[in-house]
Structure 1
């Protein structure tokens, strides 16, 4: 399970050092992809495969299903962390998320997300007030 918030920096080659607490679950390989909120999602390979299978369950006759499948697959890339726990974030993904030198890496239970500091600040500020009432929506009684 991925938990916490970290603030590594991108190096000149577009790499970040994964938080030490995340490395063990990601050493066998991971998939980076676009996330809906202009961030990057990092999945352990097995979790990405499960997500991809769920996406394939939708009928390809529906435009929204095809759109989601395309956007997920076209923006995805496989990586394996190096011995220092670094991964390269490809330029198209860095551009998608507006990443420069400073980044915010958050644990999101079954995945890791990489945000620009401005993007994370705006998103979390918008969600904080509604967070208390989300239990009733996400887990209806």
Structure 2
């Protein structure tokens, strides 16, 4: 399970060093793709195959489903970490998420998310109050 918040830097070649706590999960390779709220989603190869299998079960009769699948999968890129545990974030995804030198990488359970630090700060500022003040069940049976 991927947990925590990290602050790697994007180098001049568009690479980041994977957080050490994520290394076991990602050492065999990662799949990067567009995520919601303009973040880059990062999955292990195994987890991405699970996600893709769930997507294959979705009906493509809905235009909304087709649109989502097209954008999600067309932006996907398989990356193998180098010996320094770096991966390259492709230009398409760097542009999509507005990534510059300062990044925030968060663990989100089965995936990690790569955010521009300024976008992450804006997101948390806009959503933390609602999180703290939640007075109804958000996740059935849990919160």
TM-score bracket for the superposition, by shorter chain length:
over 0.9
Does structure 2 retain, via aligned residues, the 8 Å contact 1:5–1:104?
A: yes
Aligned-partner Cα distance in 2 for 1:135–1:57 = 31
Structure 2 counterpart of 1:60: 60
Could you give the per-residue CA deviations for residues 65-118 of structure 1, whole angstroms, max 9, x where no partner exists? 111110111000001111111000001100000011111111111111000011
Aligned-partner Cα distance in 2 for 1:31–1:86 = 13
Structure 2 residue 29 is the aligned partner of structure 1 residue 3:
no
Note the 1:40-79 alignment, pairs <5 A: 40-79=40-79
Structure 2 residue 116 is the aligned partner of structure 1 residue 116:
yes
Structure 2 counterpart of 1:39: 39
Could you give the per-residue CA deviations for residues 32-90 of structure 1, whole angstroms, max 9, x where no partner exists? 00001101010011111111111121111110111111011100000111111100000
Query: Structure 1: which 5+ residue stretches go unaligned?
Result: none
Deviation at 1:139, TM superposition (A): 2.1
What CA RMSD, in Å, does the superposition of the two structures yield over aligned residues?
Answer: 1.4
Structure 1 counterpart of 2:30: 30
TM-score normalised over the length of structure 1: 0.94
Structure 2 counterpart of 1:96: 96
Aligned-partner Cα distance in 2 for 1:129–1:139 = 20
Query: Structure 2: which 5+ residue stretches go unaligned?
Result: none
**4+ aligned runs moved over 6 Å, structure 1:** none
